[in-house]
Structure 1
Amino acid sequence: METLQVGRAKLTWLNGGVTHLDGGAMFGVVPRPLWKKKYPVNENNQVELRTDPILLEIDGSRFLIDSGIGNQKMNDKMKRNFGVLEESSVLTSLQEVGLSAADLDGVLMTHLHFDHACGLTSWDGDTLVPTFGDTPIYTSAVEWDEMKHPNMRSKNTYWEDNWKPVEDHMNTYEEKLEIIPGLTMIHTGGHSDGHSILVFEDGEETFIHMADLMPTHGHQNPLWVLAYDDFPVTSVHQKKKWLDYGYDRNAWFTFYHDAYYRALQVDTSGAVTKRLERERYEYK
């Protein structure tokens, strides 16, 4: 598992599964000849997208950023359509670093689309239960409301199986919430109405987790937003705002979906100065 130290924060990428989605959907109106130079595509016009939660350790507290794609939450047709070649092994990953779900102080959900939220619940026989026990879960109030009351478009990604078993553990906020000193969840909207990012600052050390405002290194251009975005113009403005914020601070930008890089550090011009590569392997 890859790790990154940013000031007081240690980040460790866990194994949350993988999807393969249509490249055109992931890059919206950007022409294929342009985006395929930035991010690899297969013969079916699909791009590989990890769904790997990040274990975040700061001052003795431990948090999980998003939850992975879960296990046995999709039938064979759905797995085929979403290109799921590997499901989650998040709890196993935690065991490999000497931890369990009981050691977590919170699960920080940037948003609640199925590819981020399926891992919140797991099967115990015929019953779905919270994967992380009584661990508090944090998301924006707008996102939580949309999860419970999806519209005709969003009902395909906000699944009752992913929220009902954990509703007693959910904690919401309006515009922003300081989780612990230096670490803040910030409601941005854009990808979904309730989408949030995470910003961590410790002196001159900064990381920004842009979640699905910038799901991969190939999406660094502020105008390159997803066809999946509910509010693409909001995505553009919020992405530009937080990219500029990060450039000014030589920040690390971390990824949940990128199949090639876990994080990139940039200079004040936005040029990449350091890369944390993901160890790649063949799927069985």
Structure 2
Amino acid sequence: MNLYPINAGNLKLDGGAMFGVVPKTIWQKSNPADANNMIELTTRCLLIEDGDRLILIDNGMGNKQSDKFFGYYHLWGDFSLDSSLKAHGFHRDDITDVFMTHLHFDHCGGSIQWNKDKTDYETAFKNAHFWSNKNHWLWATQPNKREKASFLKENIIPMEESGQLKFTSLPEQDLLKNSELGFDIFFANGHTDKQMIPIIQYKGKSIAFMADLLPTVGHLPLPYVMGYDTRPLLTLDEKEKFLNMAAEKNFYLFLEHDAHNEIITVKNTEKGVRLDNIYTTQDIFN
């Protein structure tokens, strides 16, 4: 097995929204804001090469939305999904499976693209299965008013219409062992219903793709929960459970949205679970 970080693009979001009730005087120490209160984020995806399977976990915002839409998110840098795949010797047509932690636009927008004439949408990975789960799919296709702006129909419905959509099994509790993709999945419901956190076994290490359960290093303290989460108190409980497990089992936490820290480990302290070490993907994957 080989693992590759895939940068699908950088963006900025309002720091207050990213940290909920935590005061700016506190969160800006770890995530400094610009003059417009925006903090730097990224969409760091993960590519798993395992035998004849090439599995991409999440795929960023894509490029089919309007300039007005992207203007809200202050794109920066010159990273893209295609250039990042190419840097590792791959093309999107090589991908066999696209696993989406959840269906918010910044995690699945790259799944769908315009066709050549820009008259309709088509899947951006023509040889891949798209993986979600039945509960989250229903949640996303019949969205509540709070999340509706994050579940864009053009990102979601064409996957089903293509016939390439598949669903993972659902666990009896919150951990699915050895899923159809070959890795364990922790299910978390605080950010959105049935978000999936993959835990990959790699060269004796457990690599957890943290998605929006832990967006950045700055979100490690339990009360530091995003304003975007639909059930913040549940997120708090899920973070506590997962981070305690990560500290106990020495998980390596792959951060999808932290623009400056790629992988971390955590440890138990008198103040709860806190940062242990920071690594680059090169440190861990090579």
Q: TM-score, normalised by structure 1?
A: 0.87
- Matches of residues 96-245 of structure 1 in structure 2 within 5 Å? 96-124=87-115, 125-126=117-118, 127-167=120-160, 168-172=163-167, 173-175=169-171, 176=176, 178-181=179-182, 183-201=183-201, 204-245=204-245
Q: Secondary structure at the match of 1:77?
A: helix
CA distance in 2: counterparts of 1:22 and 1:60, whole angstroms: 41
1:276 aligns with 2:276: no
Contact 1:16–1:52 (8 Å) recurs in 2: yes
1:91 aligns with 2:82: yes
The letter for the 2-side match of 1:174 is L
Name structure 1 gaps, 5 residues minimum: 1-7, 280-284
Match of 1:4 in 2: none
Q: Secondary structure at the match of 2:136?
A: helix
CA distance in 1: counterparts of 2:72 and 2:159, whole angstroms: 27
- Matches of residues 1-150 of structure 1 in structure 2 within 5 Å? 8=1, 10-59=2-51, 61-73=53-65, 75-85=66-76, 89-124=80-115, 125-126=117-118, 127-150=120-143
Contact 1:69–1:119 (8 Å) recurs in 2: yes
How far off is 1:190 after superposition? 0.9
CA distance in 2: counterparts of 1:40 and 1:179, whole angstroms: 40
CA distance in 2: counterparts of 1:36 and 1:242, whole angstroms: 25
C-alpha offsets along residues 225-274 of structure 1, whole Å, 9 cap, x if unaligned?
Answer: 10000111111111111111110111110111111011112345545443
Q: Secondary structure at the match of 2:55?
A: strand
Give the root-mean-square deviation of aligned CA atoms. Answer: 2.2
CA distance in 1: counterparts of 2:68 and 2:203, whole angstroms: 48
Contact 1:193–1:231 (8 Å) recurs in 2: no
C-alpha offsets along residues 43-72 of structure 1, whole Å, 9 cap, x if unaligned?
Answer: 111111101221123355321110111113
Q: TM-score, normalised by structure 2?
A: 0.86
The letter for the 1-side match of 2:80 is S
Q: Secondary structure at the match of 2:238?
A: helix
Name structure 2 gaps, 5 residues minimum: none
C-alpha offsets along residues 10-44 of structure 1, whole Å, 9 cap, x if unaligned?
Answer: 43222211221110100000111111112221111
State how many pairs are aligned. 269
